[in-house]
Structure 1
Amino acid sequence: MGDDLGLKSLVSKLEKGIRLIYILRQRYDILCANPPYLSLSHLSKPIAERLERYSEIAKGDLYALFFVCFENLTKENGLWCVVAQHNWMFLSSFLDFRKHILRENSILKCSHLGSGAFESIGGEVVGSSMIVAQRTPLSKSQGIYHRLVYYEKYSEKQKMANTPPKHNTYTFPQSRFAEIPGSPMIYWWPEEFRQAYLKAPKLGSTGNIKQGLATGNNDRITKRWYEVVFKNISLINQKNLNVINLECLWFPYIKGALGNRWFESLNTIVFYQQNGKSLKFSEQARYGRGSTEYFKQGLAFSYIGTSGFLCRLRKYKSIFDVSGSSIFCDNPEKMQVILSSNLSGYVSQSLNPTVNNQVGDIENLPVLDYLSDYTTYLNRAETLYDQLFASTESCIEYTYQHLSPEKFEIEEARIRDEIDKELLQNFSQKTINAIYQEIGESVFNFPHWDGQVESIPKHFAKSFQEEKSILSLSRKYRLHPDSLLKIQEKQNLVHEGQRKDRAFKHLSWAIGVLLGRFDAQTGGLLDLAQKRRQEQNIIKDPKAPQGHDHGLLYLSALDDYEGLNRDKTSNVGTACLNTLKSILQYKWGTEKCSELWDEIYHALVLDCRTDWAPAQRSKKTLNNWIRTSAFDMHASLYQKRPIYFPLISSKKNFFIWINIHQWTDGSLNNILANYLKPDIKLMESRIRRLREERQTIEDSRQLNTIEKEIASLDKLLDELKTFTEKINQLATKGPLPTIQEIESPYMIDLDDGVMVNSAALWELVWPLWKDPQKWWKSLSTPKGKKTLIGRIWPCGIGLSAS
């Protein structure tokens, strides 16, 4: 009867439960564990709240709760040993927890593993440590710490963990962790440097850290500078004393920029007309955060990064975003130089070796003001970055220059290396050696190549192609980086990706001149051409190539088609390619232009391949490559906000590339009247003549040839007619009536930005560009319509996208 009621099973479970309670009530001499790593924010709210109630100090991660359990389960003077993430040793979010662990326990040993400690967990995501702690209050004894963070491979860490090198082993009393604000467990600093840090003024006391504006709707309020009308942007150099004109529509806007340092050029802009009046009344925006510092010089930094602390000065008077929080101090230029040193990165990575910088860590950075003349370093960095901006098409300073990525990397590193060496002059050689062990030996101390071919490292060309960083290659071969540049030049080495980028750079510039974006004489923006001529004291060259009045080019499968008698317009077909070549010839001369044109063909059209058979090569043309592949590179160059819209037919046989800054209300009708409809007439006429000719031919082979040509033209004609109908729909009525509320011809408003302006064109660009379709669906929702200026949905809320 008892069995039928399940009592036997119940008794068995109770017995197991009682045994578990008895076991858990015990305390142990030694306890070892590898607790699970899981942020409590990833758990359901009820479970997270229940776990947090278990301990007030062990918040944030599941493994911290296990630490507390281990303490409770360990006898007094017993040992508990764990493998865990190392972030509890440093982050301010673990401060109370860390203080508790250090107060109630003695750390006897710690193997600080860093990332790569587990074969199953790759990358920089997880940094680990192993500790052996004694369940006894803080003692005066010194813990032993093995620092194995330098070794990247699992096998190397495993070997060093078994026999830690003497120079990676430290003894340190844990009572001294509290000397540094936030009590980070920094055990490896040389004592001399530790004392210098403690005596130095901190960034938090010499400057103010301000959080910037949160717009609440970045897609609507912010744009890339090249999306809008240039004259509507307030562009005042930070060195200029001119007062800000608050009647401008757009202002430079500093956002987070992972990996950037030294200088911030114009990238993002924010709608801030009338001193940000619209933002003041926005429900989503947090206006005025740090607004007293808007337009002042300061050091923008990012909270997220993997290379220590990076900051940068503004080139233009700017507003700053919450993700581009900034430091303001009496001499920001000098502070920029000090904080750009590898030594500052060394301190930053010590205070917080994770990927997330925290305000407290930044405020605790030391101001090591040991430089005799900071302006020398600053001027060199500014010159270098001016060259970088002048060679980057998406920068406003672009003037069609070229700066080798390797040369930029070396020169930027050289400046910081020299700053380090001047700062470190104040320390003993022993301290200097210990710091270089952490930040890496200076590559500029490596020997130079002797110039002999036989001295070139074996397999150098292969390593050069595989290694992205010239400095990493320098460390691999222990050769001075300047010598590597000489070897690179000797062997004429170029990364395949760089080769393509460089070839496209020349083609893209020529296209930009043709489409009315760039000035052929000065190389940069047409909007700034006259200003640059005045600065250079030159007059306008009447022989310089000019952009086409329509601001577009038209390429198609008909361009090499015989028998159509198409007009040879400078922006159409083969004539268009000749125009692009003549633009490059104006800049470089005949011989150099010929070299560049060949390189454009081999690097882009042939994809750097040399294995194509002649028959295969003959099918690959620049015309076809531009139609099918150029847009992807253009979109990437402009950070997915392309300024040349690709109107293209379904099978990519008809392609119009139009500069949005040359787009007018009549552009679509112009495309129909001057480009598409004439081709339709030519094709219809050609097909009609072929059909008439077919009636008179008796030879089967000739007849077969004509039949094939007619079939081919018929397909192209159908494709072109469909393409034309879609453009005509937009030109006369706008997007399909099932989507918009009223019929209205499509018109572009540059201040709406690329996302909004391209969304209604999604059917015309879809074969090459998928984003506008997604944007159209998003903007077609009631919430999305609030971002538009009533051109498509004047009622604000209407029909959703079909």
Structure 2
Amino acid sequence: MAKNRRVDIKAILGDSDLRRKLMVSTIRATQAREGIETTEEQADRAYYVVTEAERTAFFALEPFRGGKRGRRDERHETFVRALRHATSDVRHDVARRDFAAIDGSPLAYLRVRIIAPVFRESPALDPAVGIAAQGLATAADGRFVRYFWEVPAHAQGHGRPWVAFAKGGPFSRFYADVFLVVNWRENGADIRALGKGRVQNDQYYFKPGMTWPLRTQRGFNLRMLPEGCIFGHKGPAILDIDPRKALYVLGIANSAPAEFILSGLMSFGSWEVGVVKRLPIPKASVEQMQRISRLTQSIYDTKRRWDTGNEVATSFVCPWVLQARNARSFSETLVSAHAAEEEGEEQIEAMYSDLNEESYRLYGIADEKRALIEAALGERAPEILWADMERRTAEQKRMEHVWRLLSYMVKRVLEADEDGIVPFQSLIGDAGLLDRIHNEVATLFPNQDANQVEVEITNELKRVVKGYKRASSIGEWLEDVFFDYHASLYKKRPIIWHIASSQGRAPQGFGVLCHYHRFDANRMAKLRAGYLREAIETFRREAALANQSGHAEARIEWQAKLEETLALDSKLQAVQEGRFEGPEGGATDYRILTPWKAPEDRPKGWAPDIDDGVKVNIEPLQKAGVLRIRRVV
């Protein structure tokens, strides 16, 4: 026979949470015996009245300050009235224990009253769910960090010199592309040797998790951190999460009530690790967790699928217009692409609304408190697919689709060329750029007439659209618009360089596109000795023939092209030889001046090191004035 166990009443009464649960259940049971149905929230409120007599009163007097439009200061009168009558819109009584429920006891009394029960009933994210941590701070991003397109693909990935680097980025909940890479040769030996950065929590590097931008005014936005990444100081991470709960946590943390809770704990615009780790994660049934997880996964999938049409995303496959189905003309293709975007946005907006509904229920926040939360948050950043085109018109998006398609065609042409050098004119047996673009149109639109597609593209380019340069033909767009657009799309780190004999929109006598990854010393030599030499000989010959035929205007035109091209060759020679005059880094210093390398370690002449990045390597060409646009970096 089991012995009778003594109940430690003192210990039970000393446990405030257990005491509260016992009292609330007792109140509900007592009321039920009297035939009165009482909700848990009502019983909880009654418990406060009985046990929490020690409250703190706050008075919202700021609206009565006066001073505007001659209005007198009414704060004293309002305060006196509020002392006599607990006016709901002026006096706010908050139990002191509600402050104690929130670690740090912030003095945001209106928020405390709403969220204190959440902190009492739900465990903090860290350590209950995962570990929130800061990561790598290089202290020299210009030296160690690149956009992924600056580095050849074969040099990227875990175990290779450059690895994916999550370092904050633009606002985006649930999904965001990791478009940066960091130099991690020999386990970050160069960063460690510099001695200025911080290699923090490296035991968690390359593990899957979640990350967020440290600073943003648009609200907290958590997104998946893929396996194989390093996370940064400005892109902290949540790691060691049970994979079965990861989607649930991602969904809850991106919800409206979670943002309200976090915003009451943070400094303005800075979502610090110490704040995020305190986020309460509500307990959920299996069914509730599955609902949140399904919604989260669907939003994530929709956003990532859209990114397959973004040329500067790591998941890029082909432009959105080429993903359209069953279009009978190029115009229909544009309509389909726009419809796909609208449909996707409607879906993620609806799913995000459902997710917020579920989150409010899980946090136990009633409609009255929800209204206060939403009023405090104001208009939150919406869920959108095409972040780069937020607030743009349908006409602007339509033109962007056209430009993206042409950009993709140019990219394909350059990547397919053995030397990575494509002239605008047909030279040394090579087809010119426009001819190759025509072939790309035929390849990419096999079920449509290539000539008709080109006519439709040209008609689109002729339209006047705010923010987009008008072009009368595909050839004009390639010559006058492409490089400027490419440099902008690739965030001032272009990898296709337009070298030309003139700048701006002046007609070019000679022009080529060069792929940065292959434009080494040998390609520079071939450009000058092959393409430029043939162009010079052609222009000289044509000028002589025009002179013999007595065609003065033609002779002047050919002679102008010849002189322009000879001048270009002279400028390229200065870059090739690394000439310099005057102070280091001056306007006539055409060397590659890698800031972190000693003078003796810098390239002698044109011998670019891809690892030094586009900014360093393109500057001599920019100074020499051989790029189609005057300023790239």
Same fold at TM > 0.5: yes
Q: 1:571 to 1:659 in 2, by over 3 A?
A: farther
Task: Find the counterpart in structure 2 of residue 38 from structure 1.
Answer: none
Task: Find the counterpart in structure 2 of residue 500 from structure 1.
Answer: 399
SS of the residue 2:175 aligns to: strand
Paired with 1:252 and 1:425, the residues of 2 have a C-alpha distance of 37
1:383 to 301, 307, 313: 301
Please say if 1:256 is aligned against 2:117: no
Query: How far is the alpha carbon of 1:714 from its aligned partner?
Result: 2.5
Task: Find the counterpart in structure 2 of residue 711 from structure 1.
Answer: 556
Paired with 1:443 and 1:681, the residues of 2 have a C-alpha distance of 59
Aligned residue runs from structure 1 range 584-663, under 5 A: 584-591=441-448, 596-608=453-465, 620-651=472-503, 653=508, 654-663=510-519
Paired with 2:152 and 2:214, the residues of 1 have a C-alpha distance of 32
Paired with 1:353 and 1:599, the residues of 2 have a C-alpha distance of 53
Q: 1:508 to 1:112 in 2, by over 3 A?
A: farther
2:549 to 693, 711, 719: 693
AA at the equivalent of 2:317: T
Query: How far is the alpha carbon of 1:753 from its aligned partner?
Result: 1.5
AA at the equivalent of 2:423: Y
Question: Could you tell me whether the CA contact under 8 Å between 1:602 and 1:608 is conserved in 2?
Answer: no
Task: Find the counterpart in structure 2 of residue 702 from structure 1.
Answer: none
Task: Find the counterpart in structure 2 of residue 409 from structure 1.
Answer: 345
Paired with 1:180 and 1:592, the residues of 2 have a C-alpha distance of 67
2:277 to 363, 371, 380: 363
Q: 1:686 to 1:765 in 2, by over 3 A?
A: closer
Task: Find the counterpart in structure 2 of residue 274 from structure 1.
Answer: 186
TM (norm. structure 1) is 0.57
Q: 1:734 to 1:191 in 2, by over 3 A?
A: closer
Task: Find the counterpart in structure 2 of residue 372 from structure 1.
Answer: 289
AA at the equivalent of 2:178: L
Task: Find the counterpart in structure 2 of residue 218 from structure 1.
Answer: 141
SS of the residue 1:425 aligns to: helix
Aligned residue runs from structure 1 range 502-517, under 5 A: 502-516=401-415
AA at the equivalent of 1:341: S
Paired with 1:144 and 1:354, the residues of 2 have a C-alpha distance of 30
AA at the equivalent of 1:722: A
Task: Find the counterpart in structure 2 of residue 109 from structure 1.
Answer: 60
Structure 1 residues without counterparts, runs of 5 or longer = 1-104, 120-129, 147-168, 236-244, 445-466, 471-493, 517-546, 560-565, 695-705, 773-802
Q: 1:179 to 1:111 in 2, by over 3 A?
A: farther
Q: Deviations over 1:254-303 (max 9, x none)?
A: 1011302223433111111111122222132223x111211122221222
Question: Could you tell me whether the CA contact under 8 Å between 1:307 and 1:345 is conserved in 2?
Answer: no
Paired with 1:141 and 1:197, the residues of 2 have a C-alpha distance of 32
Query: How far is the alpha carbon of 1:399 from its aligned partner?
Result: 0.5
AA at the equivalent of 1:361: V
Paired with 1:358 and 1:118, the residues of 2 have a C-alpha distance of 37
Residues matched between the structures, number: 514
1:195 to 112, 117, 121: 117
1:209 to 111, 129, 132: 132
Please say if 1:734 is aligned against 2:578: yes
Please say if 1:343 is aligned against 2:267: no
Question: Could you tell me whether the CA contact under 8 Å between 1:109 and 1:143 is conserved in 2?
Answer: no
Paired with 1:430 and 1:674, the residues of 2 have a C-alpha distance of 76
Structure 2 residues without counterparts, runs of 5 or longer = 1-55, 321-336, 383-388, 583-588, 592-598
Query: How far is the alpha carbon of 1:442 from its aligned partner?
Result: 11
Q: Which has the bigger relative contact order, CA under 8 A and spacing at least 6?
A: 2
Q: Deviations over 1:560-618 (max 9, x none)?
A: xxxxxx6595542xxx2232132132222253755653453244454449xx9xxxx9x
Paired with 1:145 and 1:668, the residues of 2 have a C-alpha distance of 77
Q: Tell me which moved more, 264-273 or 424-433.
A: 424-433
1:583 to 425, 440, 444: 440
Question: Could you tell me whether the CA contact under 8 Å between 2:308 and 2:317 is conserved in 1?
Answer: yes
Task: Find the counterpart in structure 2 of residue 152 from structure 1.
Answer: none
2:629 to 768, 772, 795: 768
AA at the equivalent of 1:415: M
Paired with 1:323 and 1:317, the residues of 2 have a C-alpha distance of 18
SS of the residue 1:412 aligns to: helix
SS of the residue 2:348 aligns to: helix
Q: Deviations over 1:173-229 (max 9, x none)?
A: 485556533343445459675423432112244233222111121111111111112
Query: How far is the alpha carbon of 1:345 from its aligned partner?
Result: 2.0
Query: How far is the alpha carbon of 1:386 from its aligned partner?
Result: 2.6
Task: Find the counterpart in structure 1 of residue 236 from structure 2.
Answer: 325
Question: Could you tell me whether the CA contact under 8 Å between 1:304 and 1:355 is conserved in 2?
Answer: yes
1:748 to 608, 611, 623: 608
Aligned residue runs from structure 1 range 36-435, under 5 A: 107-111=58-62, 132=75, 171-173=92-94, 175=96, 179-188=101-110, 194-206=116-128, 207-235=130-158, 245=159, 248-287=160-199, 289-331=200-242, 332-352=246-266, 354-370=268-284, 371-373=288-290, 374-402=292-320, 404-426=340-362, 427=364, 428-435=366-373
Paired with 2:607 and 2:252, the residues of 1 have a C-alpha distance of 51
SS of the residue 1:646 aligns to: strand
Query: How far is the alpha carbon of 1:323 from its aligned partner?
Result: 0.8
Paired with 1:316 and 1:421, the residues of 2 have a C-alpha distance of 31
Paired with 2:133 and 2:460, the residues of 1 have a C-alpha distance of 47
Task: Find the counterpart in structure 1 of residue 38 from structure 2.
Answer: none
